[in-house]
Amino acid sequence: TIARYSKNHQCHVLTLAGYAGQAPAADTLYLETFKNAIVKYIKDKKLDNVILVGHSIGGFLSLRIATELHQHLKKAIIVDALPFYAGLMNPNAKVGFDSEMAKNSLAALSKMDDEQLRINQLNTAKFLCADSTKWDLIANWGAKSDRKTMTYSMYEMLGNDIRNDISAINIPVLVMAAFAPVPSYPAFTKDYVLSSYKQQYAACKSCTVEVTPSSKHFIMYDAPEWLFSQIDSFIQ
Backbone angles phi, psi at 23, to 5 degrees: -60, 135
The C-alpha atoms of residue 197 and residue 74 are separated, in whole angstroms, by: 22
Other C-beta atoms lying within 10 Å of the C-beta of residue 97: 17
Residues 6+ apart with CB under 8 A from 62: 52, 53, 54, 76, 77, 78, 81
Give how many domains the chain has, as a whole number: 1
The C-alpha atoms of residue 61 and residue 79 are separated, in whole angstroms, by: 11
Spatial CA neighbour of 105 closest among 69, 158, 181, 64: 158
Question: Where do the DSSP E strands lie in 61-212?
Answer: 73-79, 173-177, 207-211
**Full domain range(s) for residue 176:** 2-235
Buried b or exposed e, range 22-43, using 16+ CB within 10 angstroms: eebbeeeebbebbbeebbeebe
pLDDT in tens, the chain (236 residues): 899 999 999 999 999 999 999 999 987 889 999 999 999 999 999 999 999 999 999 999 999 999 999 899 999 999 999 999 988 888 888 888 888 999 999 999 999 999 999 999 999 999 999 999 999 999 999 999 999 999 999 999 999 999 999 999 999 999 999 999 999 999 999 999 999 999 999 999 999 999 999 999 999 999 999 999 999 999 98
For residue 81, give the CATH number of its domain: 3.40.50.1820
